[in-house]
Chains A and B, each alone.
Chain A
Amino acid sequence: MNLLDRAEEVRFQFKKDLSKVNIDIQSVEDFRLEYLGKKGYIPALFREFTSLSVEDKRKCGKILNQIKKEAENSIDTLKQRLNSIGIDEDFFDYTLPGKLPRLGHLHPVTQTMNEICSIFREMGFGIEFGPEVETDYYNFQALNFPENHPARDMQDTFFIDDSILLRTHTSPIQIRAMEKQKPPIRILAPGRVYRNEAISARSYCTFHQVEGLYVDENVTFCELKGTLEIFAKRYFGKDVKLRFRPSYFPFTEPSAEVDISCFICGGSGCRVCKHTGWLEILGCGMVDPNVFISVGIDPEKYTGYAFGMGPDRIAMLKYGIDDIRLFFEGDIRFLKQF
């Protein structure tokens, strides 16, 4: 087993020489060629190896490969030292920037939607989807927006023809879900919606909504309040206060708007909450009996609640973004911040 002995010798010599190599490009390269170059010591060992018997090969192969690997690693280390710390081997510049592979980021509104959805999913809500191009029936009529009612002015609509339009809210998903399944129904409807509003820092012609619906035999306003309180405390922090005040939506009766205590000023008043101490974050209410009738659910037997919020708006509040257009520009400097 001369080969093994010689291999050990090469390994020993390599280690000895390694400690003496000057850290400059030429010395490192010379050292590499001496051991690993085509005519170097280690390839010479391998050449010898090919002439061994199968039995011996099995014994030696592993060791030779190990020696080769060690040598390569040591030389890599030398090269790294060459690159990073120059000539002074005692100097380690820990201020050199870290090297991170590029990782993408989810859009801030996607992140917000996901956070909202995951809180409600823990409470048993299942996600439902629906089309963005909708019929007037699903977007308005079935939701108790009578034709020619001023309530329709609350939502400027893009029409495709008289009866087809771009959904102005994700509420049509609620109707489709109630048509499809019997109570109990406990769903969340996230998605993109459209409003025919001029584009400005405050409004964009498309944005997002997350709506929730719960229909069962004993659903009450108290339960709605409880559910939204859990959500708000989970999402905005446990000290957040909620304010419910009556409002109007055609598809709920009673209807309410929900404000949370401003998390920027803590309620004392600031520019963001327009000095009211409150931030309006969602609308909600008990499902209007007319909506139940239009989907064939008995309003005497079942009650339900619905709520809806805008993740774009919530993200703007949360991150202090004052121009909604930033969400749709795709500026990488913006996206990298989230």
Chain B
Amino acid sequence: MIVNTKWLEKYIDIPYSPEELEEHLTYIGLESKIQKSPVDKIRGVVIAEVLDVLHHPNADRLSICKVSTGFDMQDVVCGAPNVAKGQKVPLALLGTVLPNGMELKPVKIRGISSEGMICAEDELGISSDHSGIMVLDEKAPLGMELSEYLSGEGTSIDIDLTPNRPDCTSPIGVAREISILTQGELKIPEIKFKESEESTKDYIDVEIENIDGCPRYAARVIKNVKIASSPQWLIDHLKGVGIRSINNIVDASNFVLMETGQPLHTFDYRKIEGKKIVVRNAEDGELVETLDGIKRALSKDILLICDAKNPVAIAGVMGLGNSEITPETKDILIESAYFSPTTIRNGSKYLGLSTEASYRFERGVDPEGITNAVNRITDLIIELAGGKVCKGIVDKYPKKISPAVVKIRFKRINRLIGIDIEKSWVKEIFEKLGCKILKSDDKSVQVLSPTWRPDLEREVDYIEEVIRIYGMHKIPSAKRLQIQPSHEVDSRYDLIEKLRSILCSYGYFEVFNNSLVSEKQTQFTFKPVKPVKLRNPLSLDMAYLRTSLIPGLINTARWNINRRNCDLQIFELGFIQYFDPDSETHAMEILKFSLLITGALEDEHWGYQTRKSDVFILKGVIEDLTHRFGIESLKFEKCKNNYFKNLLGSNINGKEFCYLGQINQEYLQSEWSIEVPIYVLDANASVLLDQAKFEIRYKPLPIYPAIERDVSILLPEKIPIEEVKQKIMKEGGELLREVKFYDLYHGKNIDNGLKSVTFNLVFQVADRTLKDKEVDKRMLAIHEVLKNDLNAKLR
């Protein structure tokens, strides 16, 4: 919300500079920021009067204006449609540099020389308005710099209001807060109008059907007003708070809304049928046309203001076109009401329509401010539009809204804040806030909350007031903290961090991807699942929660490949979700980590060759990783999935743990336009964390030497390496400590259907030095078995 210091000063004396005010307000919870005007920096734009407007002889749309700055007269060519004799306007003199960088030089426009420029707001950087030149108040002093003139118009302060403070949605409310700080008196505008003999009662009756939705409704009639445009001060004033001027009556109601925070509505009285206002709920599907010309279908929870026959307004949100003020309006009906915040909020949400009025009603207006606002607008209308004020206000208040009675214990203030605050000061503050002190003793104080502070309901709300006015910055920090750990601590955090850092040590970069994905991406799973769908997504591409981390990783790969970074090792650790009717949230959430590799696995260096990505790189990663988490060797199985070529899967203790493989190239090409091979690993982090065992038992280092032997054989291609290894281990028996597979060769010099493989065997026992003969014997046995069982040929 924007308040202007000049406007604020109407209601309270401000002993602060704008900068001090900004700070004081911020420290009491009204986060404030001074709005710097772009005009401040401009020099050379002065206030001038348009003395005469002549037609440009060579151009229909241009005019030649004679302007005076009080000390000088100039001819200026102007193209604005709204320029008129007698106006005060901002004139940019020759040599001035405007915010857009344009420097004014003498020019000839269609043959007529122009010695300056009358500016529109956009040219001054004030707004984007380029509909015409900026017109200033007729009292603006000639020759004054515009920046100086506008600074006299006060400083605008933008307050970021929190939703608990409806009382501060107006300058009067902000002034009240300032009065607490300065001890100053609030200056409430005087009411001066005189009532006529005719009674409002004879013109209007109010009937409230839904008293919960509308606890209070007040109305008054003013006859014989003259609809006209508003004076410049009012137009400027409304513009300053972002409201467009319509006519004097509508502007008056907006002015009072902004001034007091109480929304008002004005109707053309002659369009109200049957001298009657009925407040009732709409019927489901009831159609109305609001002031903005839009037809809207209502629901039964929306509150309507009706005359004897038809709806005339959606309560607290917007009026209808059928009863609006027009240039022909003579008599007007003023509405000032308290609508229940929930009702207005529901209505505003349902219609997708938020207005200055609904914004205030849904936060809660002051139920005791209703009639004051009627009087204030009446006064203003008489000033602006004349007319006769009917006597009295028809004020229906069937459901009294009582402010809370709250007891505040002084001990409790200390308990929550941590310091003692003087009791008399506390009481004083409560009074300044507008509370009535009902009872007070040494231990506590009982207060009646002010009607404009619906947020003050409980003791703790008042403690907040105490700390707010006292100043949080003045409260000391505890120098010694009580350190009291929780009873239970989730140990998963440490394991997750360990997992992340191990993956980094393998060379993988951590990435984050959006968890919101398209429906198509949710199909990328290893088992069919039903994805979780959002009811109100940002777009169809982000309508589901991800069911796998892999599409996100492929997307990241594509992003990088498109930028010519084709050697990637990346991982993500995060949750995936899918529908699960048995869960409290109807969603199963699984912590996963996935890896993706493509291209070379090392950065290019001089002097050695880099390794290329393949499936076994990922197999190596997951084998080592699980080993580090204390899990016995993984067993892999071949799996099938349409998204993959060569897919492996593995379980840990019967729990599905991971899949790894090469992504199907056709899929990559058609869905992602990726040409290069991509390998991914998908693993369930929860399974890893749950099964992790960190019970490392040290094995004594061998003291007796080992004997190493190689086994090089040719064997049929389709025999798996693991099978060969098992045979070797079996025959090697207890002497064979380790079998390392280290060479695989096809091709040149090897017959079709065969492969050449080499194992390195390490023989060693703990209690003695092995003899060659023992090893030779085992080697012989191994060779025999490989020959006989696997049809292998020794090389």
Q: Name A residues whose Cβ lies closer than 8 Å to a Cβ of B.
A: 54, 57, 83-84, 96-97, 99-107, 109-110, 114, 117, 123-129, 131-135, 148-151, 153-154, 158-161, 164, 166, 177, 180-182, 184-187, 192, 194, 196, 198-199, 204-206, 214, 216, 218-223, 225-227, 229-230, 243-248, 253-257, 274, 276, 286, 288-289, 303, 327-333, 335-336
Contacts and interface: CB of A to CB of B under 8 A. Distances in A.
Contacts of B584: 135
A83 B607 contact: yes
B486 A254 contact: no
B481 interface: yes
B703 to A, nearest CB: 16
B507 A151 contact: no
Contact of A160 (B488, B511, B533, B556): B533
Contact of A196 (B415, B482, B538, B586): B538
A222 B418 contact: yes
Contacts of A133: 532, 545, 577, 585-587, 589
Most A C-beta atoms less than 10 A away, residue of B341, B515, B569, B771: B515
A158 B417 CA distance: 36
Contacts, number: 276
Contacts of A221: 416-418, 467, 472, 475
Interface stretch (B109-117, B493-501, B727-735, B785-793): B493-501
Most A C-beta atoms less than 10 A away, residue of B346, B489, B575, B606: B489
B647 to A, nearest CB: 24
A160 B532 contact: yes
B514 A206 contact: yes
A274 to B, nearest CB: 8
B105 interface: no
Nearest to B511: A330
A176 B601 CA distance: 43
A257 B475 contact: no
A131 B545 CA distance: 13
Interface in B663-711: none
Contacts of B506: 104
Contacts of A151: 163-164
Given A132-B515, A132-B577, A133-B585, A248 B29 contact: yes
Interface string B466-481: 0110001101111111
Interface stretch (B253-261, B457-465, B751-759): B457-465
B485 interface: yes
Interface stretch (B558-566, B650-658, B717-725): B558-566
A148 B362 CA distance: 9
Given A154-B163, A330-B556, A330-B570, A225 B475 contact: yes
B201 interface: no
B353 interface: no
Contact of A336 (B477, B509, B516): B509
Contacts of B532: 133, 160
Contacts of B479: 226
Nearest to A132: B575
A201 B532 CA distance: 27
B514 A220 contact: no
A164 B532 CA distance: 11
B112 to A, nearest CB: 44
B472 A329 contact: no
A96 B608 CA distance: 14
21 contacts: A57-B772, A97-B605, A150-B163, A150-B341, A158-B534, A158-B535, A158-B537, A180-B488, A184-B484, A186-B485, A192-B574, A206-B516, A220-B416, A222-B419, A222-B476, A244-B473, A246-B464, A248-B165, A253-B463, A255-B464, A328-B513
A199 B478 contact: no
Q: Which 9 A-B pairs have the closest CB atoms?
A: A220-B418, A246-B29, A222-B418, A126-B489, A248-B162, A330-B556, A330-B511, A254-B464, A226-B478
A229 B477 contact: yes
Contacts of B165: 248
A153 B563 CA distance: 40
B189 to A, nearest CB: 28
Contacts of B542: 205
Given A131-B587, A133-B532, A225-B477, A335 B510 contact: yes
B603 interface: yes
Contacts of B475: 221-222, 225, 244
Contact of A329 (B164, B346, B559, B571): B559
B575 to A, nearest CB: 5
A54 B770 CA distance: 12
Contacts of B514: 204-206, 328
Given A104-B504, A158-B536, A247-B31, 14 more contacts: A107-B512, A149-B163, A150-B363, A164-B587, A206-B516, A244-B473, A245-B473, A246-B467, A246-B468, A247-B162, A253-B463, A254-B463, A288-B460, A335-B509
Contact of B33 (A84, A227, A276, A332): A276
Contact of A181 (B26, B488, B771, B772): B488
B430 to A, nearest CB: 15
A274 B31 CA distance: 14
Contacts of A332: 509, 560, 565, 568, 570
B500 A254 contact: no
B28 interface: yes
Contact of A148 (B345, B507, B575, B602): B345
A104 B533 CA distance: 34
Contact of A246 (B472, B476, B505, B559): B472
Contact of B504 (A83, A105, A222): A105
Contact of A164 (B480, B538, B586, B771): B586
Interface string B125-166: 000000000000000000000000000000000000011110
Contact of A105 (B418, B493, B510, B535): B510
Contacts of A244: 472-473, 475
B767 interface: no
Nearest to A278: B26
Nearest to A151: B163
Contact of B487 (A102, A131, A182): A182
A129 B513 contact: no
A330 B560 contact: yes
B267 interface: no
B524 interface: no
B516 A205 contact: yes
Contact of B772 (A54, A96, A223, A255): A54
B556 A329 contact: yes
Contacts of B164: 151, 248
Contacts of A57: 772
